[in-house]
Structure 1
Amino acid sequence: MSTYLRTALNPFIGGTKQEVEDDASDAASDAQLSVGAPIEGLNPLGYNIDYFTAYFTALHGVIGTGIFATPASVLKSMGSIGASYVLWIAGFIIAVLQIFIWIEFVTYFKRRSGGQVVYLEQAFPKPKFMVSSVYAAVTVILSFSTSSAIAFAQYILAAADHKATAWEQRGVGIAVLVFVSALGIVNSRLALKVSNFIGFVKVVFILFIAITGLVVLGGHTRVKNPTQIFQNSWEGTVTSDGNAIASAILKVSFSYGGTQYLFNVAGESNPKQTKNIFKYFLPAIMLSIFAMYLLIITAFYAGINDIQQIKKAGPLISSLFFTKVFGTKAATKALDVFVALSALGHLLAVVVGQSRALRECGRQGVLPYSSYWVTTKPWGTPILPIVAIFIVNFIVLVAPPAGDAYNFVVDIGSFSGYIFNLLLVIGLLLVRRQRKAAGLGFEGFKTPLSIIIIIILYGVFVIAMSFVPPPGKSLNGSDVSFFYATYAFTSIGILLLCFFYYYIWAFVLPRLGKYAHRNLHYTLENGERGHTVVKVPVEELEEWDSKHDSNGKEVSDDNSSILVENIVVSGLGKKD
């Protein structure tokens, strides 16, 4: 490998925005498979992710509504206080182990936003377009932030002391989706600033709940005998209802999930800080969140001090906690407003992060009218991806039975996430093999094989347990009024539908139309780069392939790609 090429494949380094621009103009910085969407020399979405914004993006992604809404359902499914603590602790350990997988990926593709969609694209280049097409379709369909919209509506209406109907709650949920989507479309930077402010308020209020819980345990509130609930803490533990346990695991995973939104904007971080943000800072963030979770759950248990009331509380457990501890409407309303704000912050993180994933799907060329998904005109934001997120969430918000919407959406999103996480872990092994074949090593981080094995076994276990029927004659789920495995079959059905779409698009239609799909590279006015998939008649394939490289660029004396063992260096460097 030439000296130039070794230099070109080194990690991108830079500091200020000007340094980023200079390096983008003077050197290639990343290596990836030639089938991947082209690396953008200068990110058209800007570089707004520093340590401060990274902290609150991760915080909002993880702490949305889950910890304030799911502890009651988790306790109901697990049966006992002790078993619920075990699950929350195990969930944190698994969440951190899963993050290690993502961290290794981001060290290889530091200048690509989109997270999982990028990593799967690189891990599974064959069959051509399969993973990109299926993931793009599933991502569009499952762009869920509905649970946060529902929780926002429930808590803000509770704060208004209004006994709302299910459709009134949905109306408020739709309104907040409109607001967040509009903000993300008009100004992503402003959306991040609003997110940071809400994040600061969130941390202050969480600390207030934690301190309140400690005061309750000390016997300094109106709650009598606050430690009573922790006696016989293992009594009632569920051991025979595998489906209930699987449902609880999915809800805990949902509560710890959300770091992917930070990985979705990795390409917008200061390249000089990217390694430290993800390798060191993110695990520290997760540790702080874990401590917050244990303090919040303990506060809820001690403050309510009645296991049956907790199980019946559902997503309004935190509201019940404030009612029990303070006994005033003002305190309860304050809590309701805070949880609503927390849900709003999560929605902002989802819209900003998920829109980047959808934009990457567009840059891969597998979505129709790909350039419209990629363009950032006129406000430097991905407009079409945000509109798609709004439409999907609107449909999901109004489609499920009103009383079961929250739990159903949480379970289907988490179940689908486990399937893709399994593929991601397997994909990491494939990317390692690809890099080894190309003479590339690791970029400062390597996930131990033992962790990879644990994540795979855990994922298979959760998926399998979702199909274990509940005990007794009823086949309804532990927290929904319909068939227990509806969320699992719905998720699988969506995946199969997307695979069917891919098969028709990639094989049936080309055979009938006598053409083949090929990538075509393009650059838009603002410097956005992407692929569009074009139909090349069979009789013209040989000529097309002779004039284009595998990345869809025209091959000429003045415009050639650097190809090494199926690796293309995507950049603007000059050869020696």
Structure 2
Amino acid sequence: MAEATVYEPVRSSAESSRSSLSEHTLASFDDFSNEVDDGEYLTARSFDDEAGSAPADGFDDGGKGKLGITSAVFLILNKMIGTGIFSTPSGVLLNCGSAGASVLMWLAGGVLSMTGMSVFLEFGLAIPKSGGEKNYLERVYRRPRLLITCVFFSQMILLGFSASNCLAFGRYVLFAAGADEPSETIARAVAVSCISVVVLVQSLRPNLGTRLFNVLGMFKVVVLAFIVCTGMAAVLGLVPHDGDVNSWSDVFADSGFASDGFAASGTSVGYATALMRVVYSYRGWENANYVVSELRDPRRTLAVAAPLAIVGVTVLYVLANVAYLAVIPRQEIARSGVIVAGLFFRRVFGASAGARVLPFLVALSNLGNVLVVSYAHARVNHEFASEGLLPRQWANWKLVASDVNVPVMGLGLHWLITVIVLTAPPSGEAYEFIIDLNTYPAAWMNMLVASGLVYLQHRKAEHWRSPFRSLLPVTVTYIASNVFLMVTPLVMNGGTSGNAAVTAAAGMSCLGMGVVYWAIWSRLLPWIGSYDIVAARTDTGGVRYVKVKRGQEGSIEA
């Protein structure tokens, strides 16, 4: 069995309560007490080379249902490729002011994603267990004890929903069915049906769910490859299309958007806005880090799948934009309020194809995103239940007898939060406001993860080791990109943006609720109940938080 992860007790006063724990846990505490004295905490040395086959969260199914490299690639692809590449290019071109600058912006987005991948790859290979940022933040920010765990817990529970892609799925299904102005109520009903069916499939037929996101991931790649090939064929004159296009006659020439009333075009504010939209279109590259325990040979799978997926998406995004510009005049792309891929299909195949095919393609893209997000977030919820932040019984519940372990309650919690967000808020700006809440907290968390890696790499007392090392300039670039995402919305156009400030404040308040939860769960209730919360190691090498009565024999689970 892989060597277990080493953690320190949550409170030093637990020393007197060690006798209440099991013999196995007693040994664990004695072991890690010596290692803490030596300054050694969780590092790559805590896992032997076979750690990949022994999940640290007790979710071991003997390798059945594990994800290989192909599935891991599509797990990432499905989250990265959403509606962004079908709609964002118009806003990026408008803000950049020239075709060449907009394409370079999409390339820059891929490079920034690679910097983030470098940080997460070093952490993921050193700590090969599910949970993503949770494990990485816990490794660095150990004091106040459990604070960062509760803050991340709050973010994932309150903001880890799939409402935006479910609603987009509902809207595009109705568009594909012929509804020019689909009812918001009906769209939400379709969205609720979408997340419900996805959760049922993941619970009852987990292997079918895996096959579905593999198929949909391949479908997305085929669609983008088709757009790329069609655009190249149009440039060569092999495919007839509507209109004389000269977008590439002078690629870096100012397209004149500023003189047409869009003052930010080609300015520093315009470039900042464009980069922000591009970065958001690349979100999801870290998805495999959330489910490392579900990967077959996780170190090898993660090391191969993550770079392959990000490089592949970057190439597809850049070439897709080249294809758009090869077929559609840049003025039409920038000024149109419709989805740019719709214009592309309309010019190549006629109005009927553009109107009917595109909504169907985008709806399937959204469905793939819902599948992989629910898969990943359910595993993170399972981690919380295994450790005791959620009811521990949830970690062992199964809906059906199966050789494949399924985090049913984790899926159920993800379903519940998503349905609440889909049904509770009123329509309009209030709804869009809630959907966008996670953007700001996510940037903070990513910045903390990257800054923590710099600390671990340069503080010898931490004894940090990993099979992969992220270079300092790469890590600093990723930190800067997240600071950019945090600051830019607040200072846009030279002043504070009211909407952005309110969204940022609301998002950060969700993290603040994690601080409140920490104060109550780990400080107030233990004080009232006269017990300590102690971190103990499990037989599978994971960690669990248990309540230990002060001065009494026996322990109760947290």
* Counterpart residue identity of residue 296, structure 2: N
Q: CA 1:86–1:330 in 2, change beyond 3 Å: closer, same or farther?
A: closer
Q: Quote the offset at 1:344 in angstroms.
A: 1.0
1:251–1:410 CA contact under 8 A, matched in 2: no
Question: How far apart in 2 are the matches of 1:309 and 1:88?
Answer: 16
Question: How far apart in 1 are the matches of 2:206 and 2:44?
Answer: 34
Q: Which deviations, in whole Å up to 9, do the C-alpha atoms of 1:284-319 show, x marking residues without a partner?
A: 3211211110122223334332535544425x3322
1:364–1:530 CA contact under 8 A, matched in 2: yes
1:226 is the counterpart of 2:250: no
Question: How far apart in 1 are the matches of 2:383 and 2:134?
Answer: 7
Question: How far apart in 1 are the matches of 2:193 and 2:331?
Answer: 35
1:132–1:364 CA contact under 8 A, matched in 2: no
TM-score scaled by length of structure 2: 0.80
Superposition map of 1:17-416 within 5 A: 20=53, 39-40=57-58, 42-43=60-61, 46-78=64-96, 80-110=98-128, 112-163=129-180, 164-219=182-237, 220-228=239-247, 231=250, 232-233=253-254, 235=256, 236=258, 238=264, 248-271=274-297, 274-307=298-331, 310-313=334-337, 316-367=339-390, 369-373=391-395, 375-376=397-398, 378=400, 379=402, 380-398=405-423, 402-404=427-429, 408=433, 411-416=436-441
Q: CA 1:216–1:318 in 2, change beyond 3 Å: closer, same or farther?
A: same
Q: Quote the offset at 1:10 in angstroms.
A: 5.8
Identity across matched positions, percent: 25
Q: Alignment partner for residue 418 of structure 1, among 440, 443, 461?
A: 443
Aligned residue in 2 for 1:11 = 48
Question: How far apart in 2 are the matches of 1:230 and 1:489?
Answer: 45
Aligned residue in 1 for 2:34 = none
1:500 is the counterpart of 2:516: yes
Q: CA 1:521–1:448 in 2, change beyond 3 Å: closer, same or farther?
A: closer
Aligned residue in 1 for 2:16 = none
1:242–1:469 CA contact under 8 A, matched in 2: no
TM-score scaled by length of structure 1: 0.78
* Counterpart residue identity of residue 49, structure 2: F
Q: Quote the offset at 1:103 in angstroms.
A: 0.8
Structure 2 counterpart SS, 1:531: strand
Q: CA 1:104–1:376 in 2, change beyond 3 Å: closer, same or farther?
A: farther
1:516–1:538 CA contact under 8 A, matched in 2: yes
Q: CA 1:360–1:39 in 2, change beyond 3 Å: closer, same or farther?
A: closer
Aligned residue in 2 for 1:559 = none
Question: How far apart in 1 are the matches of 2:110 and 2:431?
Answer: 22
Q: Which deviations, in whole Å up to 9, do the C-alpha atoms of 1:248-278 show, x marking residues without a partner?
A: 444322221212221222212222xx33333
Structure 1 counterpart SS, 2:380: helix
2:344–2:354 CA contact under 8 A, matched in 1: no
Q: CA 1:88–1:398 in 2, change beyond 3 Å: closer, same or farther?
A: farther
Question: How far apart in 2 are the matches of 1:44 and 1:384?
Answer: 21
Q: Quote the offset at 1:180 in angstroms.
A: 0.9
2:168–2:363 CA contact under 8 A, matched in 1: yes
Aligned residue in 2 for 1:560 = none
The number of residues matched between the two structures is 507
Aligned residue in 1 for 2:7 = none
* Counterpart residue identity of residue 145, structure 2: K
Question: How far apart in 2 are the matches of 1:317 and 1:146?
Answer: 23
Question: How far apart in 2 are the matches of 1:43 and 1:385?
Answer: 17
Q: Quote the offset at 1:343 in angstroms.
A: 1.3
* Counterpart residue identity of residue 300, structure 1: Y
Q: CA 1:269–1:228 in 2, change beyond 3 Å: closer, same or farther?
A: closer
Superposition map of 1:534-545 within 5 A: 534=547, 536-540=548-552
Structure 2 counterpart SS, 1:466: helix
Structure 2 counterpart SS, 1:313: coil
Question: How far apart in 2 are the matches of 1:429 and 1:151?
Answer: 38
Q: Alignment partner for residue 531 of structure 1, among 544, 549, 552?
A: 544
Q: CA 1:406–1:254 in 2, change beyond 3 Å: closer, same or farther?
A: farther
Question: How far apart in 2 are the matches of 1:496 and 1:230?
Answer: 52
Q: Quote the offset at 1:332 in angstroms.
A: 3.6
* Structure 2 residue ranges without an equivalent (≥5): 5-30, 32-42
Structure 1 counterpart SS, 2:437: helix
Q: Quote the offset at 1:281 in angstroms.
A: 4.0
Question: How far apart in 2 are the matches of 1:77 and 1:395?
Answer: 35
Question: How far apart in 2 are the matches of 1:507 and 1:9?
Answer: 29
Q: Quote the offset at 1:374 in angstroms.
A: 5.3
* Counterpart residue identity of residue 414, structure 2: I
Q: Alignment partner for residue 517 of structure 1, among 533, 540, 544?
A: 533
Q: Quote the offset at 1:382 in angstroms.
A: 0.6
2:247–2:325 CA contact under 8 A, matched in 1: no
Question: How far apart in 2 are the matches of 1:7 and 1:468?
Answer: 41
Most deviating of 173-182 and 227-236: 227-236
Q: CA 1:246–1:178 in 2, change beyond 3 Å: closer, same or farther?
A: farther
Q: CA RMSD in A?
A: 3.6
Structure 1 counterpart SS, 2:284: coil
Q: CA 1:48–1:41 in 2, change beyond 3 Å: closer, same or farther?
A: closer
